[in-house]
Amino acid sequence: MVRSSRRRRPTLLALLAVLVAAPFALAAAPPETASPGVSSGISPGSPALLTGDSAAPSGTGRQVERFKHHLSESGYVSQSGSESVFDLNGRYCDGTVFSALWPNPQSPYILTGLPEVPGQAPNTNPPRTWRLRQDEAVVLIGRTPPPEAYFGFDLTRVKGSLHTGPIMWPSVVDPVNNETVRTTGKSPYGRPFALVITGNRHTREEVDQMLAASGLGDGTNNMTIPPAMYRLGLGKRSDQFLLGIRTVLAKPGLEKKLDDYRAKPPLQVFRVRPRGGSENQTKPVYGPAPLPVPRMRVSGTGATELDLNPTLQKLRRRIIAAHPGYKAQDIVVRRGFEESNPGLQENLLTKPPLTGVDALSNDADDPITRNFRLPNGSFVVAYGTNHVATRQASYSSVTMYAGPKAAVSLAARNNRDLRGSARDFLADRPDADKFYAWTFSRAGSAGPTGPHVTELPSTSTKFCSQYGTDRPVDMTTLRAVARAYAQPGTNTRPAMSSLLLDRLLVFTPK
């Protein structure tokens, strides 16, 4: 272990004393200190998006102040970051990103912004992607989202520019989700918690002890950036990471609470590191203490949807028979993205319409169709098994996207919306509620109507005008993604081999 002669570290006895004294200490914690050239907040000139909220989130203020005090007492430097929603459709239209990358419109992504360490190599996508010194940690403190079908804290690695593409965007480890999160109470929802991200064992041990002394010991979650697979450091060749939060499908009656959570996330984020005796903050204080690659959750339970295939084929025939004035074209979803670890090793890049390895949670399986054309006067029926009804997922949905390169989202329907929709064609089948059939239409009153139909914007629509720009989107060319999150019992994505693949029927006038 590398230690500076000027660095003051707590002894084991001192740390134990902190743990014992924690419940009684810090009614007025001393302010955080930092070494010269580094502030405990955002450095001057940092992007406005990085401005941290000086007020701690409701319900975690005391723990945050205790943690900041323990950081100072233990000789750590900290910098504050931010948490806010990143609207990929909007960021495509304003030119921030080269593609919207097929976002889930029902789960606006909350992204972490972090400041750079003075003297480090510039980040490619600041403040959303960040490098991490090998003895640094990122610490998130706050409250978990309200009750919902799924939430997940996703740590990914981003290689390439989000502005120009292409990118490689694999998941680093399994997400911390609503079935695995540790909080300070019995419920995973609306409770204080902490999340620690590092690749250094010594740093993790010390930060975890400080969080325990701050009253968050039972609610501390660890995520590993394994040095065996990723380059930690602040130089040009080091990897860059992104932390995103998915929140989707609030429990009935709690939609406003989820909207409020997204609008102002009750979270505070810090990058913390041991202070050295040098002015150079890019140089590690601790020697390498690499954490191993964590064990991965295994997809699949052995149970499948495959016995439902005869009913699925009957559903297809009846959908076609219901529209005799139209020509039907079959499209089946397929695996669109390689899994993260193989994709990382193969250096697979994503630049729509090319799919390689993308920012897909390890909790999700997101099969995708090929691109297809849907002119005005036509419609498409998405159909298949409702993966939540078959217990293959905790949340599932089907989403339509426009533009082979833009990949912006137009409309989505989730498992709750889709429930019962297949009865329009399978009223005589006892297993009808295990299926769905939903129409996305550009046929107006001449096409299908009713509660299970979503009208899509016409091909002449200027998509980006809603964001005040004129960036073009090919509205005629569509693509569909069928999502399935977090199978009950495994807390990760279902095995694709256990699913009956979602399908489309594209109807054009004869």
If one compares 359 and 327, the residue with the highest pLDDT of the two is: 327
326 pLDDT above the threshold of 70? yes
CB 80 within 8 A of CB 34: no
Cα gap 371→406, rounded to integer Å = 12
Tokens read off for 163: 């502005």
DSSP letter at 103 equals: -
SS (H, E, C) 452-495: CEEECCCCCCCHHHHHCCCCCCCCCEEEEEEEEECECCCCECCC
31 pLDDT above the threshold of 70? no
pLDDT of residue 294: 95
CB 192 within 8 A of CB 198: no
CB 312 within 8 A of CB 435: yes
24 pLDDT above the threshold of 60? no
Q: How many helices (H) and strands (E) does the chain have?
A: 9, 20
Geometric angle at alpha carbon 98, from 94 and 99, rounded to 5°: 95
Question: pLDDT > 90: what percent of the chain?
Answer: 80
CB 326 within 8 A of CB 510: yes
166-217 pLDDT, tens digit per residue, is 999 999 999 999 999 999 999 999 999 999 999 999 999 999 999 999 999 9
Termini Cα distance of the chain: 75
Q: Is 79 helix (H, G, I), strand (E, B) or coil?
A: strand
User: Which of these, 382, 297, 306, lies nearest to 340 by C-alpha position?
Assistant: 297
Q: State the DSSP H helix or E strand holding residue 154, giving kind and residue range, or none if neither.
A: strand 148-157
CB 82 within 8 A of CB 112: yes
210-240 pLDDT, tens digit per residue, is 999 999 999 999 999 999 999 999 999 999 9
Mean of the pLDDT values across residues 438-449?
Answer: 97
pLDDT of residue 376: 98
Give yes or no for a cis peptide into 127 (omega within 30° of 0). Answer: yes
Q: Long-range contacts made by residues 412-421, C-beta under 8 angstroms, separation at least 24?
A: 412/104, 412/105, 412/106, 413/382, 413/438, 413/454, 414/106, 414/149, 414/248, 414/249, 415/149, 415/249, 415/386, 415/387, 415/388, 415/389, 416/249, 418/386, 419/386, 419/389, 421/452
Cα gap 38→22, rounded to integer Å = 27
Cα gap 326→188, rounded to integer Å = 49
CB 182 within 8 A of CB 171: no
Cα gap 245→444, rounded to integer Å = 37
Least confident of 28-32, 61-65, 138-142, 459-463: 28-32
30 pLDDT above the threshold of 60? no
pLDDT of residue 50: 27
pLDDT of residue 27: 32
Task: Give the global pTM.
Answer: 0.87
User: Torsions phi, psi of 348, nearest 5?
Assistant: -80, 130
Mean of the pLDDT values across residues 5-26?
Answer: 39
If one compares 435 and 8, the residue with the highest pLDDT of the two is: 435
Q: Predicted confidence band at 473 (pLDDT cuts at 50, 70, 90)?
A: very high
pLDDT of residue 25: 35
382-407 pLDDT, tens digit per residue, is 999 999 999 999 999 999 999 999 99
CB 407 within 8 A of CB 99: yes
Question: Do the bridges between strand 220-224 and strand 192-198 make them parallel or antiparallel, or are there none, so unpaired?
Answer: parallel
Strand boundaries in 58-130, DSSP class E: 76-80, 82-86, 109-113
pLDDT of residue 347: 84
Token look-up 């295994």 returns 298
248 pLDDT above the threshold of 50? yes
Q: State the DSSP H helix or E strand holding residue 409, giving kind and residue range, or none if neither.
A: strand 408-414
Stated length of the chain: 510
Tokens read off for 332: 């089946």
Whole-Å CA distances, 70 to 196, 215, 268:
15, 12, 16
Cα gap 500→435, rounded to integer Å = 10
Which range of 12-26, 271-285, 418-432 scores highest in mean pLDDT? It is: 418-432
Q: Which region, left, alpha or beta, applies to residue 95 given φ > 0 means left and ψ of -120 to 50 means alpha?
A: left
347-376 pLDDT, tens digit per residue, is 888 889 888 776 655 656 678 999 999 999
20 pLDDT above the threshold of 60? no
Question: Do the bridges between strand 137-143 and strand 267-274 make them parallel or antiparallel, or are there none, so unpaired?
Answer: antiparallel
pLDDT of residue 364: 65
User: Which of these, 141, 136, 140, lies nearest to 273 by C-alpha position?
Assistant: 136
pLDDT of residue 362: 65
pLDDT of residue 13: 38
The residues near 264 (Cβ < 8 Å, ≥ 6 apart) are: none
Cα Rg, the chain, nearest whole Å: 25
Q: Predicted confidence band at 56 (pLDDT cuts at 50, 70, 90)?
A: very low
Q: Is 75 helix (H, G, I), strand (E, B) or coil?
A: coil
pLDDT of residue 349: 87
- Tell me the pLDDT of the chain averaged across its residues: 88
Token look-up 């590993």 returns 224
19 pLDDT above the threshold of 70? no
